[in-house]
Amino acid sequence: MQIVNLSTVDLSLAATLIAALGIISLRLRLGQTRQIFTAAVRCTVQLLIMGLILKILFAAASPGAIMIMALVMLLSAGQAVTSRMHRPLEGRWSYFLGVAAMFLSSFTITLFALLIVIDVRPWYTPQYAIPLLGMLLGNTMTGVALSMDTLTTSIFRDKAIVEGRLILGEKWRDAIQEQVRGAIRTGLTPIINSMATTGLVSLPGMMTGQILAGAAPMTAVSYQILIMFLIAGGTGFGIILAVYSTAGHLFDQRHRLRLDRLAGPD
């Protein structure tokens, strides 16, 4: 099957849609025209830079270079998690706990996929390792950010209830079980909805890209099923790790709620 290469003119034609959206935003006084154009420019620049980096990585196929790239992706994801929280932990704890949760979940499951499921040789082959980690990390980041934000916000909101249960002699894990469950449910909702509608409402980007690149439909479907299961597992484990580590940081050894460890407005 012929692969159609896109020219600058083709991309410019697609960019007219962004321009039209910006003009409509301006006419409706939505106040988002600047954000639309800024996001479009950032998207273009970032993807072009990523394309150049991947070109170098594919040529080098060095495990050291892959690990450096993976580390940059992980640290950037940690920053995104912290920036989305209304009540982050004091200091850099939200960043550290978020990074740790994403590292343990996304990296472990990526290695599981590369070494056992796909069994690619060598395991650090860039065209497999980087896309897999990127998809896992991106989705896990969203789940972790939502769950951590929901947890800290709900504990602050329900502080009287939590402290009342602690006074009655409950351990901190029991006192905040409803808030923990709510945070985990919130974090899992996007990936559950995505799995439930994939193939019926939407065709995922990876599957669509493979088909456009000439892969057989059933091959693309098989890879997409694999990716969805890996993402669900990575997101779920990452959320659980992030929620419990964040919750544990909000209590001391005597099971007292420490709201002074939360940043944000009173």
HEC readout, 42-83: HHHHHHHHHHHHHHHHHHHCCHHHHHHHHHHHHHHHHHHHHH
Residue 265: asked if its preceding bond is cis (omega within 30°), the reply is no
User: Are 16 and 71 found together in one domain?
Assistant: no
Residue type present at position 183: A
Closest CA to 77 of 150, 136, 151: 136
Assigned domain for 141 exists:
yes
Q: Write out the chain's pLDDT in tens, 266 residues.
A: 556 777 889 899 999 999 999 999 999 988 889 999 999 999 999 999 988 888 888 887 788 888 888 999 999 999 999 988 888 998 899 999 999 999 999 999 999 999 999 888 888 888 888 889 999 999 999 999 999 999 999 999 999 999 999 999 899 999 999 999 999 999 999 999 988 888 877 777 777 777 777 778 888 888 888 898 999 999 999 999 999 999 999 998 888 889 888 886 65
User: Are 161 and 202 found together in one domain?
Assistant: yes
Q: Please state the domain count of the chain.
A: 2
DSSP E strand stretches across the chain: none
User: Are 148 and 194 found together in one domain?
Assistant: yes
User: Are 54 and 80 found together in one domain?
Assistant: no
User: Are 11 and 98 found together in one domain?
Assistant: no
The Cα 85–Cα 11 span in angstroms is 35
- Of 39, 60, 81, the domain-final residue: 60
- The answer to whether residues 110 and 133 touch, using CB atoms and an 8 Å cutoff, is yes
* Residue 4 domain boundaries: 1-60
User: Are 165 and 216 found together in one domain?
Assistant: yes
| CB-count burial class (<10 Å; 0-12, 13-18, 19+) for 225 | middle
- The answer to whether residues 241 and 105 touch, using CB atoms and an 8 Å cutoff, is yes
| CB-count burial class (<10 Å; 0-12, 13-18, 19+) for 50 | middle
Which residue, chain included where needed, has tokens 């495990």? 63
Assigned domain for 266 exists:
no
109's CB contacts (< 8 A; 6+ apart) are 136, 230, 233, 234, 237
